[in-house]
Amino acid sequence: MRLQTIGRSTLRPGIGAESTRQWGARAGRAHSVGAVARHVRFEDFRYVGDRDAQRVYDQDTEDEVTGEVVARLVATNRATAFSPDTLAEARNRGYELAS
């Protein structure tokens, strides 16, 4: 996979600079989709998993409880992300979608 480089920014392949976020974390800011804010440590990931319970949480839902659960998982160092960031990959690793 080839990466586009413009100046010092590394961009996702095949997508123009105007519509692409830079790879990597941006300290101090939360990414939001509509009115939903993602946790700062996992702002580039939609699905965040609980290593102990083998449950996966969708950060793009409008459920406030999901945000609190993800924050607690990060605080206790039990959160994990998936690559590619899909529900299918989480299920492939044995995680079930939390309801």
Per-residue pLDDT in tens (0 to 9) along the chain, 99 residues = 454 545 554 444 544 443 334 434 443 445 555 556 899 999 999 999 999 999 999 999 988 899 999 999 999 999 999 999 999 999 999 999 997
Q: Could you tell me if 41 and 79 are in contact, meaning their C-beta atoms sit under 8 angstroms apart?
A: yes
pLDDT at 63: 87
Q: How far apart are CA 64 and CA 80, in angstroms?
A: 19
pLDDT at 98: 94
- Alpha helices, DSSP H, located in the chain: 64-75, 87-92
Q: What is the pTM of this model?
A: 0.64
Read off the tokens for 21. Answer: 């976020």
Q: What are phi and psi of 71, to 5 degrees?
A: -60, -40
